[in-house]
């Protein structure tokens, strides 16, 4: 909108109220009528928007299957597309890292917002020599998480978004048990009130082939895998169709950069996780998305460039050109004069 584009926002039909609150804020700011619009509805509404001839750019945050359908629909109209899709991101903890710091970050990267964050590091790889210590601390700290009403300031973890998601998560937990993962803590319904709560859950002895290590669940369930060497964990971390985010915990900054450089992920952190300042581009690789959000990378995807030159003869020997570029449909061209000998 800052670049002169009108926007139509269609939120998910499951949590629709946040978009309306945002619209209220914009109305209070008194923008031009029609600059920011909210349209509610299910998939058919989204399909109509994506294929509407008046829409020049589509940006989607959602699942991979939804992204594939939207991408195909947008391609039919040759529309610009940015997509931030699912993930099964790795968080790698080496044995020289601070275990308590790594545990705290793993909890943030799995249990914040009840695990309903696309970039969460739900595959936590812990070097074997510190795996037992890591799991012991994790179980103790996870058991102390206060669950309850998100509007209560004392609450540390709220409910899942719907009954459907709640049942889906419990199904994944049952599958993890059936496939041989070891339940460290949690694994059950929680009932601080009538919401759809699942306890902060940790599984150990997870292998790369298990469902819980391969599919995005969008839940407060952490899968802990162990490893021996740098090469081994890099291969394990990349063994996924997703590539949204990744994190590395180590006291060796050279190792951190070496490993991060080989991880197939669009957004990476060293000794931290899920920090997403607006100054940094955000997006994924592989099936986790197309394009980048935030900063100037984002502007290039919503800014329609137009170049033109105006020339006239001042003398027989000199021509001047006005070069304009970066012109938005509603904006004015920027540029400068260049001299060219004739």
Residue 59: which CATH number?
3.40.605.10
Catalytic residue list contains 144: no
| From 88, 185, 216, 327, the catalytic residue | 216
Q: Are residues 36 and 126 in the same domain?
A: no
Q: Are residues 263 and 242 in the same domain?
A: yes
Please give the backbone phi and psi of residue 225, each rounded to the nearest 5 degrees, phi first: -120, 150
The pLDDT of residue 45 = 94
Answer yes or no: are the C-beta atoms of 197 and 152 closer than 8 Å: no
CATH number at residue 119: 3.40.309.10
Q: What is the mean pLDDT of the chain?
A: 89
Q: Are residues 262 and 208 in the same domain?
A: yes
pLDDT band per the 50, 70, 90 thresholds, residue 298: low
Using one digit for the tens of pLDDT, what is the confidence trace for 150-199?
Answer: 999 999 999 999 999 999 999 999 999 999 999 999 999 998 888 999 99
Query: Per the domain annotation, does 51 fall within a domain?
Result: yes
| From 10, 88, 185, 293, the catalytic residue | 10
- A 10 A CB-CB count for 128 gives 10
Q: Are residues 98 and 67 in the same domain?
A: no
Q: Are residues 137 and 58 in the same domain?
A: no
Q: How far apart are CA 57 and CA 330, in angstroms?
A: 15
Using one digit for the tens of pLDDT, what is the confidence trace for 106-144?
Answer: 999 999 999 999 999 999 999 999 999 999 999 999 999
Q: How far apart are CA 62 and CA 287, in angstroms?
A: 12
The pLDDT of residue 330 = 55
Query: Per the domain annotation, does 195 fall within a domain?
Result: yes
Q: Are residues 139 and 62 in the same domain?
A: no
Catalytic residue list contains 232: no
Q: How far apart are CA 157 and CA 208, in angstroms?
A: 28
What is the extent of the structural domain holding 11? Answer: 7-85+289-302
Q: Are residues 217 and 293 in the same domain?
A: no
The closest of 61, 274, 14 to 168, measured between CA atoms, is 14
Q: How far apart are CA 177 and CA 184, in angstroms?
A: 11
Q: How far apart are CA 84 and CA 80, in angstroms?
A: 14
Q: Are residues 191 and 320 in the same domain?
A: no
| From 118, 185, 199, 268, the catalytic residue | 118
Q: Are residues 237 and 319 in the same domain?
A: no
**Domain count within the chain:** 3
Query: Per the domain annotation, does 2 fall within a domain?
Result: no
Catalytic residue list contains 24: no
Q: Are residues 158 and 139 in the same domain?
A: yes
pLDDT band per the 50, 70, 90 thresholds, residue 36: very high
Q: How far apart are CA 70 and CA 58, in angstroms?
A: 9
Catalytic residue list contains 216: yes
* The token pair that represents 286 in the structure block: 């592989």
Cα angle 202, 205, 209 (rounded to 5 degrees) comes to 105
């Amino acid at each position: 909108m800052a670049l002169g584009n009108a926007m139509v926002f269609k939120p998910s039909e499951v949590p629709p109220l946040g978009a309306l609150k945002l619209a209220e804020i914009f109305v209070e700011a008194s923008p031009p009528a029609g600059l920011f619009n909210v349209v509610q509805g299910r998939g058919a509404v989204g399909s109509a928007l994506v294929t509407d001839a008046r829409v020049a750019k589509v940006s989607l945050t959602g699942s991979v299957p939804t992204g594939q359908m939207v991408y195909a629909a947008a391609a039919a109209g040759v529309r610009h597309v940015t997509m931030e899709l699912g993930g099964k991101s790795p968080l790698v903890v080496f044995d020289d890292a601070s275990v308590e710091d790594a545990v705290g970050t793993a909890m943030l990267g799995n249990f914040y917002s009840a695990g309903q964050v696309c970039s969460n590091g739900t595959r936590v790889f812990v070097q074997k020599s510190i795996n037992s210590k890591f799991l012991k601390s994790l179980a103790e700290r996870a058991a102390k998480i206060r669950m309850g009403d998100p509007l209560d300031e004392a609450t540390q973890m709220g409910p899942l978004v719907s009954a459907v998601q709640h049942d889906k998560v419990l199904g994944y937990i049952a599958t993890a048990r059936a496939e041989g993962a070891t339940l460290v803590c949690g694994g059950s319904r929680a009932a601080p009130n009538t919401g759809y709560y699942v306890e902060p859950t940790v599984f150990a002895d997870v292998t790369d082939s298990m469902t819980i290590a391969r599919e995005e669940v969008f839940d407060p369930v952490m899968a802990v895998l162990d490893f021996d060497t740098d090469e081994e964990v890099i291969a394990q971390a990349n063994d996924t169709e997703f590539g949204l985010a990744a994190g590395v915990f180590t006291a060796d900054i050279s190792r951190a950069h070496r490993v991060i450089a080989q991880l197939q992920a669009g957004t990476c952190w060293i000794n931290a996780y899920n920090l997403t300042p607006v100054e940094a581009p955000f997006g994924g690789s592989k099936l986790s998305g197309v394009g980048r959000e935030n900063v100037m990378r984002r502007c290039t995807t919503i800014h329609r460039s137009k170049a033109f030159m105006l020339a006239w003869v001042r003398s027989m020997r000199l021509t001047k050109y006005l070069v304009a570029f970066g012109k938005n449909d509603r904006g004015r061209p920027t540029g400068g004069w260049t001299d060219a000998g004739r």
